[in-house]
Amino acid sequence: MALAAAEDTIKLFRRLQEPGASVAEIIDQLGAQQEQLRPEDVINNALRLDPPEAIHLLKLVEGTTKPIDLANLSIHLDKVEDPEFKIPLLRYLGGVTHEKVPLIAAKFLKDENKVVVIEALKALERQTEPFDVSILLPHIESMSGIEYQLALKIIAKHADADLVPHLSSYLNTRSQELNDFLTRIIVHNADRDSFEKFLRRLMIEDDYDRHQAIASIQKLSDGKLSEVARELSDHEQEFIRNTAQQLVMNLIGDEDLGKIEEFALSDNWQVRERAIHSLAKSSNRGAIAVLKKLIDAYPDDYVLALRAVKQLGFGKGLEICFDALKSKQANVQRAALETIEAITTERHAVDVRNNILWSLPLLTIEMREFAKMLMSQITRDFDLPDIQIDDNMNTSAGAVDLPLFGEATSSYKPVENISLLDALGPGEVWMDRYHIKEEIGRGAMGRVMLAEDDMVDESLILKFMLPELTMDKDSTERFKREVKYARKVGHRNVIRVHDILLKDNVCAISMEYFESRGLEAVLQDIGCFETLEGLEILYQIASGMAAAHEEAVIHRDLKPSNILIDDQWHVKIVDFGIASAGTASEATLTQTGSIMGSPAYLAPERAEGGDADERSDIYSLGIVAYYMFSGQLPYTGKPMEVLAKHRDGDAPPIVKIKEGAAPEVSRLIVKMMAVDPAARPQSMAEVRDEVKALVEQFTLPDEID
């Protein structure tokens, strides 16, 4: 009887495919023999029918407990289009426990219909036997909502050591949540063999993805994974060995400085970096000594070591900072100043300020500006006696005796030369020509004196360089540039530079004497300018700078202290010491890629390390104008904070902070201060002409007459 019934069902299935067959009647006849139906036959035949009939036929296996022979089941998704058929099919498969069911259900995970995807995931969730959940990985990043949560739940349920190697390509997704989830799977499930396979597969990923994966694992690793890594710490493959050694660092306690020191002096930079991070988290003061050894052995790690000193917060770390200020690299000096700022306490404040002051001659030009701001901050924070340092590093609290740095050459006698410079006081004559009338400034770079030139019977300024700096290439190049570029510019609003003079290793620049005050000092007295008065001054500055730009000379350090004003409101621009030419061959003197200039006035592209062009000077002049018309700077704070604010560029327009400010002037300043250089005026001549138009607009008719 059973055999006959089976033969009848086979005949009925064949009739389903015959042209003109009454499909509905045949399905009803099959339903009458439901107990004899094999699920694989029902599904295979349903796949050949149009959707309504296929769904009708598929219902015959709903709730059946009869086992299915998946070896005889053939599902081609390109022939299954209707979601109304896919959904019951997946619901049926979800109730079947078989190793092939997950592979079949996974085929539906790329379906465009979300309900189908969810049903496929539910079918996988209902599987009671372990299966390879790596089949979910290619799809999970594109999921969201319910399907995303279901997928995570399934992976977490079935994750094991075998899954770990498959994750090597999936730790750098767009979702940090997903990255962390998959990383925890590795941390909690890896054993020696699976982690080795993971690392081998990770080796073939690109450098960025490899670095991100290791960083993610380091962040979330625990003692268990570190123990696994220990077994690979002497692996013959360098990448596996180094990665394992970095993870082993997690096993080392704060007190085990000897072990950390061993890793800190490793030849591999990644292992050293991990050791530095461990030292930074240590509460042991001995970490400072280890960091000092590391720096001595690997000077390139100076910045990382300084960040560790900053995190440790021990005052003893200041010694490393002061040594770092002697480095010739601006990034090392910057990190040292940031660390000093963070760890200085009242106990060390006086010594810290003195050490910064003594280090000024050794700092790059831009770092001198940061250093001076930091000294002012320390003075305020710890209520120290004032030492006012202007932008030429002159002190108003008397002469500051700065120690000398570096060794003298065999032909250079610094003590003798300093005596020669110190001897040049009022009444003395230098080079049988220049009568010294008075000293008007002294600082870390040298001395500035008012002199009478007997040859032409004219007062002029002599700007002397300290003798020890004449042996420093950067300092002497700055002196030469100041003469070279300033002499190119002949304009009534630019200080005239005459020549560079040298006698007995004493070097000076001779320049026009202009009895005046810096714009900074003027603004400190008056607060800010009225509209017309300020526009007339701004016009003179823009005119002088336009003349400089016509000669392809970029100032690079335009700020109020470099803008001089006399009692008649006549303006002259000074200090082209870090100016650059517009030609590529000469721009190398300014070390493209390093940041030079004053932080408060620095253009965003230069805060990022880019080189300057005319538009950088326009930005700096925009900041100067903001100060002139509002009485305050647009960006204030700690030096590094100021750089970040320049890059963000969200200063409020002056009309919002200064009552009565002219909207026309405010709009021009906003344009000059645009973060994108392309959004600024494209030439200083354009700025000059716009300011001139505003001057005419705000000048009353009777004033014109």
Q: Tell me the two tokens of residue 665.
A: 């002037």
Low pLDDT (below 70) residues in the chain: 1-8, 28, 31, 35-36, 50-51, 54-55, 61-66, 69-81, 249-259, 365-366, 387-423, 442-446, 466-479, 481-482, 485, 576-598, 607-611, 639-640, 700-705
Of 181, 183, 174, 246, the C-alpha closest to 213 is 183
Of 679, 426, 691, 304, the C-alpha closest to 532 is 691
Identify residue 225 by its one-letter amino acid code: L
**Amino acid 188: pLDDT:** 93
The radius of gyration of the chain's CA atoms, rounded to the nearest angstrom, is: 38
Residue with tokens 């240590």: 282
Q: In whole angstroms, what is the distance from residue 107 CA to residue 421 CA?
A: 86
Q: In whole angstroms, what is the distance from residue 396 CA to residue 398 CA?
A: 5
Domain positions in the chain: 252-387, 414-512, 517-704
> Phi and psi dihedrals of 459, rounded to 5?
-75, 145
Q: Tell me the two tokens of residue 259.
A: 């072990």
DSSP 593-621: TS--S-GGG--HHHHTTPPP-HHHHHHHH
> Phi and psi dihedrals of 448, rounded to 5?
-120, 125
Cα 523 off chain centre by: 34
Q: What interhelical angle do 365-381 and 349-359 show, nearest 10? A: 160
Structural class in CATH, domain 252-387:
mainly alpha
Task: Give the model confidence (pLDDT) of 233-253 as tens digits.
Answer: 788 888 888 888 777 765 555
pTM, rounded to two decimals: 0.47
In this structure, what is the dihedral angle of CA atoms 245, 251, 253, 258, given to the nearest 10 degrees?
A: -30
For residues 201 and 165, is the Cβ–Cβ distance under 8 A? yes
Q: In whole angstroms, what is the distance from residue 219 CA to residue 230 CA?
A: 17
Q: Tell me the two tokens of residue 687.
A: 């700025």
Of 123, 80, 61, 75, the C-alpha closest to 98 is 123
Q: In whole angstroms, what is the distance from residue 375 CA to residue 383 CA?
A: 12
- For the chain, the distance separating the N- and C-terminal CA atoms, rounded to the nearest angstrom, is 124
3-state helix, strand, coil in the chain (%, to 5): 60, 10, 35
Q: In whole angstroms, what is the distance from residue 422 CA to residue 444 CA?
A: 14
Q: Is the dihedral of CA 638, 643, 648, 650 positive or negative?
A: positive
Structural class in CATH, domain 414-512:
alpha beta
> Phi and psi dihedrals of 380, rounded to 5?
-70, -45
> Phi and psi dihedrals of 507, rounded to 5?
-115, 140
Structural class in CATH, domain 517-704:
mainly alpha
For residues 606 and 616, is the Cβ–Cβ distance under 8 A? yes
Q: In whole angstroms, what is the distance from residue 340 CA to residue 382 CA?
A: 14
Q: In whole angstroms, what is the distance from residue 484 CA to residue 576 CA?
A: 9
Task: Give the model confidence (pLDDT) of 310-336 as tens digits.
Answer: 988 888 899 999 999 988 888 888 889
For residues 474 and 363, is the Cβ–Cβ distance under 8 A? no
Q: In whole angstroms, what is the distance from residue 183 CA to residue 496 CA?
A: 65
Q: Tell me the two tokens of residue 212.
A: 């991100």
For residues 247 and 227, is the Cβ–Cβ distance under 8 A? no
Identify residue 370 by its one-letter amino acid code: F
Q: In whole angstroms, what is the distance from residue 689 CA to residue 679 CA?
A: 17
Of 605, 511, 517, 595, the C-alpha closest to 557 is 595
Q: Tell me the two tokens of residue 122.
A: 């539910």
DSSP 323-392: HHTT-S-HHHHHHHHHHHHHH--TTTHHHHHHHHHHHGGGS-HHHHHHHHHHHHHHHHHTTPPP--B-TT
**Amino acid 417: pLDDT:** 45
For residues 140 and 120, is the Cβ–Cβ distance under 8 A? no
DSSP code of residue 161: G
For residues 695 and 536, is the Cβ–Cβ distance under 8 A? yes
Ramachandran class of 69: left when φ > 0, alpha when ψ lies in -120 to 50, beta otherwise: beta
Q: In whole angstroms, what is the distance from residue 428 CA to residue 337 CA?
A: 40
**Amino acid 544: pLDDT:** 92
Residue with tokens 């067959």: 21
Helix (H, G, I), strand (E, B) or coil at 159: coil
Of 233, 313, 314, 326, the C-alpha closest to 274 is 233
Task: Give the model confidence (pLDDT) of 274-289 as tens digits.
Answer: 788 878 877 778 888 8
Ramachandran class of 234: left when φ > 0, alpha when ψ lies in -120 to 50, beta otherwise: alpha
- The Cα diameter of the chain in Å comes to 135
Strands 563-565, 571-573: pairing kind: antiparallel
